[in-house]
């Protein structure tokens, strides 16, 4: 995070827990996202439809952003987010080019055979000694 902040020219700040002016902003958005997107999307599939997953939500989130979230009048700013973003983009500086992190080969977990035998093996051993 420190490297990203330096590359993009911002300073991350910690916030106190349960402080409405800082932490509450994130919590409020999460509640809005859940109430306006996740719950209605899950309800459209119903009990017989597919279970809501990250992949399924990603398929539907663009339509929700374009038709609902970015067209509403924001409660705090009293502006429509898609209009405000267009206005701000006109005066924003381009983001700095970020360097890609060095390639680090991923370690692959190898399956380990279970040291415990199936219960049938133990049943056979008990029959031999009985």
Contact 52, 42 (CB under 8 A): yes
pLDDT of 71 strictly over 90? yes
The ranges assigned to domains in the chain are 2-101
- Between the alpha carbon of residue 70 and those of residues 26, 86, 116, the distances in Å are 17, 11, 55
| pTM of this structure | 0.52
* Percent share of the chain, pLDDT over 90: 26
Residues 78-95 have pLDDT tens digits of 999 999 999 999 998 887
C-alpha to C-alpha distance for 83 and 89, rounded to whole angstroms:
10
């Amino acid at each position: 995070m420190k490297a990203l902040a330096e590359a993009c020219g911002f300073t991350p700040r910690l916030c106190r827990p349960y402080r409405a002016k800082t932490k509450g902003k994130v919590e409020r958005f999460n509640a809005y996202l859940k109430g306006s997107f996740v719950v209605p999307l899950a309800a459209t599939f119903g009990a017989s439809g597919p279970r809501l997953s990250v992949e399924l939500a990603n398929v539907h989130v663009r339509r929700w952003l374009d038709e609902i979230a970015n067209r509403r009048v924001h409660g705090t700013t009293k502006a429509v987010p898609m209009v405000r973003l267009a206005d701000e983009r006109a005066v924003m500086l381009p983001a700095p080019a970020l360097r890609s992190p060095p390639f680090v080969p991923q370690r692959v977990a190898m399956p380990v055979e279970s040291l415990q035998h199936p219960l049938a093996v133990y049943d056979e051993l008990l029959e031999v000694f009985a």
